Chains A and B, each alone.
Chain A
Amino acid sequence: MTQSIPLDAIDRKIIEHLRTHGRASNQQIAELLGLTATTVSSRIRRMEEANQLRVVAVSDFSAHGFNCLMRVMVEVDGRPASQVAAALAEFPEVFATHLVTGRYDIDMLVALHGLEDLPGLLLDKFSQVDGIRALVPSVVVDIVKYQFDVAPIEAKS
């Protein structure tokens, strides 16, 4: 695992600007923060190489044809929850899988093209994974806020 590097105030200012202006040029960022374009470029590269920053295009669920989101909570029985979660995370429809504390063991977010995909996903895919005692799905009917810019960062391929 890559060692994380300490970030200073300038790094944080660069990140803050990139949050809303991901394609701002190094020159634009440099002028705004009173730096040189070379400094901006090397600081971004340094944070990227430490796997602490990615500047990317985030696309809307609808751009992928996903018109239906679901939250699925899972109760595990007779198998380590981390194994069940790893098996569930293999399904491409699942875009978030977390092991959680509390009444349920796994909390997932799932994206579907439409509600017609639900029976196949729940009955033929999720239910066939060993170690699941109960699946508690709930359909997301509205997204009021969605601000996710913190995530596990995979090494660059």
Chain B
Amino acid sequence: MALVQIDELDRELITLLSRDARVSNRKVASELGVTEGTVRGRIKRLQQDGLIAFTAITSFNTIDRSRLAFISVQADVQRVREIAREIADMPLINAVMITMGQFNILALCLFDELDYLIELASDRILAIAGVQHIETSIAVKTLKYNARMARITARAIQEDDEEAA
């Protein structure tokens, strides 16, 4: 992983925008004691470097698919990257990580009906060549989840927006 160079001002900017991204550059500038141009330039650089992205987060009761499942996969070690990619391309899958340990892939899925989950896990993921075993567990309670931190992918990066205000 590339070493990231960010300074104290970047950190303050990230903290401020992680509370509300729709504040004006002017307001951010006056709160941090810098010029609007500095704020604009810093935001642009952080976006270009893939360190921040601006997005909408909705609560579980806002969307239809409001249940979270953890699908743990034991996959053929030689094909683990391909298998992980294949799972990631499935529509209901929100996250896929390659891990070392008892399971070598963790897939997270937001679903609504149990039928969907069963179809996805048993009919689709288990059917992939090289998948030996899966274990599915359903989150019954979320005690903590920090959505302000993530892996930012190219898809999420948008640079052409004007400030919100």
Hey, which bits of chain A sit against chain B, CB under 8 A? 4, 7, 15, 18-26, 28, 44, 47, 51-67, 69, 71, 82, 85-86, 89, 94-104, 107, 111, 136-153
* Contact call A95/B145, Cβ cutoff below 8 A: yes
Q: Is the CB of B20 within 8 A of A15?
A: no
Contacts of A94 in B (CB 8 A): 144
Q: Which residues of A contact B129 (CB under 8 A)?
A: none
B contact residues around A4 at 8 Å (CB):
59, 61-62
Q: Is B76 an interface residue (CB 8 A)?
A: no
Interface check B29, CB cutoff 8 A: no
By beta carbon, the residue of chain B nearest A15 is B56
B138 touches A64 (CB 8 A): no
**B116 near A: Cβ within 8 Å?**
no
B→A interface (CB under 8 Å)? 1-2, 4, 6, 10, 14, 17-22, 46, 50-63, 65-66, 68, 70, 81, 84-85, 87-88, 93-103, 106, 110, 135-153, 156, 158, 161-165
- Cβ–Cβ < 8 Å partners of B161 in chain A: 21-25, 28
How distant is the Cα of A98 from the Cα of B138 in the complex, in angstroms?
9
Provide the bound-state CA to CA distance between A95 and B88, in Å.
Answer: 22
Contact A102 B100, CB 8 Å, known A24-B162, A95-B145: no
Distance in Å from the Cβ of A40 to the closest Cβ of chain B? 10
Given A4-B61, A138-B99, is A19 in contact with B56 using a C-beta cutoff of 8 Å? yes
Q: Which of B52, B138, B147 has the most chain A CB within a 10 Å cutoff?
A: B147
Q: Which residues of B contact A141 (CB under 8 A)?
A: 98-100
Residues of chain B with a CB closer than 8 A to A82's CB? 141, 143
Q: Is the interface of A mostly helix, strand, loop or mixed?
A: mixed
5 examples of A-B residue contacts, CB within 8 angstroms: A23-B164, A56-B57, A56-B148, A57-B148, A59-B150
In the complex the two chains form, is A149's CB within 8 Å of B56's CB?
Answer: yes
Inter-chain contact B4/A23, CB cutoff 8 Å? no
Contacts of B98 in A (CB 8 A): 140-144
**In the complex with contacts A23-B21, A100-B70, A144-B96 CB distance below 8 A:** yes
Give Cα A152 to B142, complex, Å: 8
Residue from the set A59, A82, A99, A146 with the largest chain B CB neighbour count within 10 Å = A59
Contact of B95 among A47, A63, A136, A145 (CB under 8 A): A145
Given A145-B88, A151-B60, 15 further pairs, Cβ under 8 A: A7-B62, A18-B55, A20-B156, A23-B163, A26-B164, A53-B57, A56-B55, A59-B18, A97-B142, A138-B100, A138-B102, A142-B98, A144-B85, A146-B150, A150-B110
